Amino acid sequence: MAQLVTEAIVLHAFDYLETSRIVRLMTRDAGIQSVIARGARNSRRRFGGALDLFAQGTAEILMKPQRDLHALLSIDVARSRSPLGADVGRFTAASMIAELALRCSSDEPAPGLFDAVELALDRIADAEPEHALAAALAGAWFIVGTLGFTPELDACANCHLPLAHTTPIAFSHAAGGVLCERCAAVTRGTRALPASARDAIRGWVSGTQVLVSSAGEARAHQRLLREFVHEHLDVDREMKAYRVWESGGWSAA
């Protein structure tokens, strides 16, 4: 058995038997890892708030060869991100980011993805409640871009013709971005994407914070993101946390 010391974020946790908890960690050096925190339910002294959702710190893990569940020895918490539990909008937004990270990660090291998830959670925690949805959209699109699935927004995704930035344009999930009029005419399942929405997505995938101006615009962005993720990130099951976040009236701008 080898001991791993790495930065980690708590993405999911649940009780196991009478005394323990099983935790899904996103680690900087070993991707997603499932660990068991023995005795965590018996006493808060050993782990304290280290197993709270979205907490981040240095984890000490005893890695067991050929096993999917390892032993968590300790976590030294650096950030608790308590504001994420202060209101339901922030919490559901952070839960969506955690679900996206779990669905799109593996047990391979991915420091860039770790940084993207860390940034998304920090920005949601720091956002005013009315801006939590925009912070979540920004975080999710930045994660999508970090994974290498940035949508084409400036040229036709089919024929590569440069497109004007100031007019509504057709968007195709299957094609991976915007389409010129000729390509859109022979492509099924397109949707109209306003110039302002294109600008917002362009900013989000580059890591820039962009606010949304209305509840209707926010809902359209949530739907577009969900459809794009299902098309390109091999997500073949419903994302339950995403559904809760998308359906919540509290998250309207």
pLDDT in tens, 177-192: 999 999 999 999 999 9
pLDDT reported for residue 249: 55
DSSP conformational letter for 21:
E
pLDDT confidence bin for 248, thresholds 50/70/90: confident
Whether residue 236 is predicted with pLDDT greater than 80 in this model: the reply is no
- What is the mean predicted confidence (pLDDT) over 34-58? 87
Q: Write down the pLDDT at residue 251.
A: 46
Residue 44 pLDDT grade (very low, low, confident, very high; cuts 50, 70, 90): low
**What does the alpha-carbon distance between residue 12 and residue 160 come to, in Å, rounded to a whole number?**
41
pTM equals 0.93
Report the pLDDT value the prediction gives residue 69, as an integer from 0 to 100.
95
How far is 147 from 62, CA to CA, in rounded Å?
Answer: 28
- DSSP H helix total and E strand total for the chain: 8, 8
Where is pLDDT greater, at 253 or 212? Answer: 212
State the Cα–Cα distance between residues 128 and 205, nearest whole angstrom. Answer: 21
What type of residue is 134?
A
The count of residues in the chain is: 253
Helix segments in the chain, DSSP class H: 44-47, 88-104, 111-126, 132-146, 181-185, 195-205, 215-232, 240-247
Contacts of 228 (CB under 8 A, 6+ apart): 144, 149, 151, 173
Give pLDDT tens digits for 107-140: 999 999 999 999 999 999 999 999 999 999 999 9
pLDDT at 66 exceeding the cut of 90:
no
Residue 32 forms beta bridges with which residues? Answer: 26
Span 145-157, average pLDDT: 96
Residue 54 pLDDT > 80: yes
Q: Is the dihedral of CA 75, 80, 84, 85 positive or negative?
A: positive
User: How sure is the predictor about 253, in pLDDT bands with cuts at 50, 70 and 90?
Assistant: very low
Residue 202 and residue 33: Cα distance in Å, rounded?
A: 32
C-alpha dihedral (168, 174, 177, 181), degrees to nearest 10:
-40
User: Which whole number is the average pLDDT over 7-25?
Assistant: 94
Q: Domains, the chain, ranges and CATH?
A: 2-79 (2.40.50.140), 82-150+190-251 (1.20.1440)
Q: Which of 43-57, 178-192, 203-217 has the lowest mean pLDDT?
A: 43-57
**Cβ 120 vs Cβ 142: under 8 Å:** yes
